[in-house]
């Protein structure tokens, strides 16, 4: 079985390379960006302006070949890739919940963006707390590492050479 996706737009941000990019949207508080949705998909933006936050689904186009075990940014031990949010994955798909500031035609102005400039956008979904927020009772190996989130940045370890 072959699955193919085509970008529906491009994400533009201040981060010109993975190195130095915040590793999650909550660590990118106040960082502005914009999403250019290709004109042929612009009609699909109807009614999106009623949401304060959106989920961007995108392709990690600068990630190097995947490994099933990785050393994540927030730890110094090797972990299974599916127990991390590392960008080097069998299917290099990323997700970010960002604040939607405004829409001008086919341009979305966003905030709290942790994405590298020029990233291909695959999809947009509205963020709805009643659908998306869950009360959890464990966060695995991240339990003792979450305090590092706001100080860590991408160090380039997953970037293509």
What pLDDT band is residue 105 in, cutting at 50, 70 and 90? very high
CA gap 104, 34 in Å, rounded:
10
45-49, 84-88, 128-132, 133-137: segment of lowest average pLDDT:
133-137
Q: Tens of pLDDT along 49-91?
A: 999 999 999 999 998 888 899 988 778 899 999 998 888 899 9
pTM of the predicted model as reported, rounded to 2 decimal places: 0.86
CA gap 161, 147 in Å, rounded:
30
Assign 148 to helix, strand or coil. helix
Q: Tens of pLDDT along 17-37?
A: 988 888 778 778 899 999 999
Top pLDDT among 137 and 7 is at 7
**Residues 6 or more apart in contact with residue 38 via CB below 8 angstroms:** 7, 8, 9, 106
Domains of the chain (ranges; CATH) run 9-129 (2.40.30.70)
Assign 15 to helix, strand or coil. coil
């Amino acid at each position: 079985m072959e699955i193919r996706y085509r970008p529906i737009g491009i994400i533009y941000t201040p981060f010109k390379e993975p190195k130095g990019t915040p590793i999650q949207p909550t660590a990118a508080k106040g960082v502005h960006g914009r999403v250019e949705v290709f004109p042929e998909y612009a009609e699909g933006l109807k009614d999106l302006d009623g949401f304060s936050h959106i989920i961007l689904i995108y392709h990690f186009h600068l990630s190097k070949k995947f490994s099933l075990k990785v050393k994540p940014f927030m730890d110094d031990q090797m972990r299974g890739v599916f127990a991390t949010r590392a960008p080097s994955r069998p299917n290099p798909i990323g997700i970010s919940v960002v604040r939607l500031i405004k829409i001008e035609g086919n341009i979305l102005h966003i905030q709290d963006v942790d994405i590298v400039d020029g990233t291909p956008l695959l999809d947009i979904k509205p963020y709805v707390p009643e659908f998306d927020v869950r009360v959890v009772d464990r966060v695995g190996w991240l339990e003792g590492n979450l305090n590092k989130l706001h100080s860590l940045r991408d160090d380039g370890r997953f970037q293509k050479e």
